[in-house]
Amino acid sequence: MATASGVRIGWTQLPVHVRHAVETILGDTVVEAVSQAGGFSPGTADRVRTAGGVRAFVKAVGSALNEHSPSLHRREARVTSAMPGWAPVPTLLGHHDDGDWVALVFQDIDGRHPSTPWRPDELQEVLTALDEFAAKATPSPVPNLDTVATQLTHDLTSWHRIAENPPDDLHPWAARHLSTLRTATDRALAALDGDTLTHMDIRADNILIADAVTFVDWPWACRGPSWLDSTMLLINVCLYGAHDVSALLTERAATHRANRDDLVAVLAAMAGFFTDAARQPPPPGLPTVRAFQHAQATALLDWLSTDLTDR
């Protein structure tokens, strides 16, 4: 099973001036750093402890590792620093940006990722937390965010490009239903109106469970419909199996008073994005991301072939 995990550098591989900047933010010397799994940034992701016992979570990346990753850290710094205090998001304690390396220093959350395959109780806890967040985050409390349709138009129109040049290993059901999938793409873009603050990259490795649920890694935040994040979570549920995704999707539509076909269309469009992305060369510093995208595409298309046939 492909997992959401890349290849990282560690705390000691950071430039000295970046480590000193983090220690300045924390006001003490870091004496312990434990690298954390999950995600695809080639930079660090460490839980650190200072000599005085202060704990924090630090992520840092430079442009030599991947030219786009520092801009994602900058975007995450802007988003998280604008979050209201009630948001289930780690507090940004400070950040360093020298034009090359960007380091973010967050409150450390003493939690763990949900189990995969998803346990029913943890899945329900996370879906409830997403629903509660969506209700409070409408309208979006973070200003100047793009809409999801604006941010992801290119990604969500992937089936049009695939139809023009299908890969040799295209999922057999998708190959027979390209017209249906292209229509779904158009419907998905039309369905994405909304002013709810959405995470847009909800997976088990971007969630921590402790006394409450916390959502981490916010560089893709944008504005969209209230049902979007809880629907996107079902991609991860679908990937790991053991749940009736069709029934869960029906519940999502009912909870948010949405048209179920709109939610299906968004998942179909995401299957196209993963299919198209998976056939591209791996980005620098991210050798495992294409296999993960391929696995998500396969899981979604297997599910879509059954859900659309049954209905």
Residues 150 and 197 in one domain: yes
| pLDDT > 90 in the chain, percent | 88
Residues 260 and 210 in one domain: yes
- Is the Cβ–Cβ distance between 191 and 227 less than 8 Å? no
Q: pLDDT class for 97, splitting at 50, 70, 90? A: very high
Predicted local confidence at residue 286, as pLDDT:
82
Residues 213 and 177 in one domain: yes
**Would residue 267 count as lying in a domain?**
yes
**Would residue 27 count as lying in a domain?**
yes
Distance from C-alpha of 84 to C-alpha of 155, rounded to nearest angstrom: 29
- Is the Cβ–Cβ distance between 174 and 271 less than 8 Å? yes
Predicted local confidence at residue 309, as pLDDT:
73
Q: Which of these, 160, 168, 307, 295, lies nearest to 244 by C-alpha position?
A: 307
Distance from C-alpha of 142 to C-alpha of 102, rounded to nearest angstrom: 21
Domain boundary (107, 136, 158) is at 107
Predicted local confidence at residue 115, as pLDDT:
95
Residues 76 and 174 in one domain: no
Distance from C-alpha of 261 to C-alpha of 179, rounded to nearest angstrom: 16
- Over residues 30-59, the mean pLDDT reads 91
Question: CATH code at 27?
Answer: 3.30.200.20
Residues 103 and 127 in one domain: no
Predicted local confidence at residue 292, as pLDDT:
93
Domain boundary (79, 107, 135) is at 107
Name, in order, each residue with C-beta under 8 angstroms of 287's C-beta and a sequence gap of 6 or more. 6, 7
- Over residues 131-136, the mean pLDDT reads 98
**Identity of the residue numbered 18:** V
Residues 78 and 183 in one domain: no
Predicted local confidence at residue 78, as pLDDT:
97
Q: Which of these, 226, 254, 263, 251, lies nearest to 137 by C-alpha position?
A: 226
Predicted local confidence at residue 2, as pLDDT:
59
Distance from C-alpha of 58 to C-alpha of 40, rounded to nearest angstrom: 15
Q: pLDDT class for 226, splitting at 50, 70, 90? A: very high
Q: Strand 196-198 to strand 92-97: parallel, antiparallel, or no bridges (unpaired)?
A: unpaired
Residues 271 and 147 in one domain: yes
Whether the ω angle into residue 117 lies within 30 degrees of 0, i.e. cis, is: yes
Q: Is the pLDDT of residue 3 over 70?
A: no
Q: pLDDT class for 8, splitting at 50, 70, 90? A: confident
**Would residue 112 count as lying in a domain?**
no
Q: Is the pLDDT of residue 120 over 90?
A: yes
Q: Measured between alpha carbons, how far is residue 86 from residues 48, 82, 91 in Å?
A: 25, 12, 11
- Over residues 132-143, the mean pLDDT reads 97
**Would residue 2 count as lying in a domain?**
no
Residues 79 and 223 in one domain: no
- Is the Cβ–Cβ distance between 130 and 56 less than 8 Å? no
* Count of domains observed in the chain: 2
Residues 98 and 220 in one domain: no
DSSP 50: E
Which residue range forms the structural domain that includes residue 187? 120-310
Q: Is the pLDDT of residue 1 over 80?
A: no
Q: What is the CA radius of gyration of the chain?
A: 20
**Identity of the residue numbered 10:** G
Distance from C-alpha of 222 to C-alpha of 204, rounded to nearest angstrom: 20
Residues 38 and 150 in one domain: no
Predicted local confidence at residue 300, as pLDDT:
97
Q: Is the pLDDT of residue 311 over 70?
A: no
**Would residue 246 count as lying in a domain?**
yes
**Would residue 176 count as lying in a domain?**
yes
Whether the ω angle into residue 139 lies within 30 degrees of 0, i.e. cis, is: yes
Predicted local confidence at residue 284, as pLDDT:
84
**Would residue 1 count as lying in a domain?**
no
**Would residue 113 count as lying in a domain?**
no
Residues 229 and 152 in one domain: yes
The pLDDT tens digits of the residues spanning 77-90 come to 999 999 999 999 99
Question: CATH code at 245?
Answer: 3.90.1200.10
Residues 77 and 140 in one domain: no
Domain boundary (107, 141, 163) is at 107
The pLDDT tens digits of the residues spanning 254-306 come to 999 999 999 999 999 999 999 999 999 998 888 888 999 999 999 999 999 99
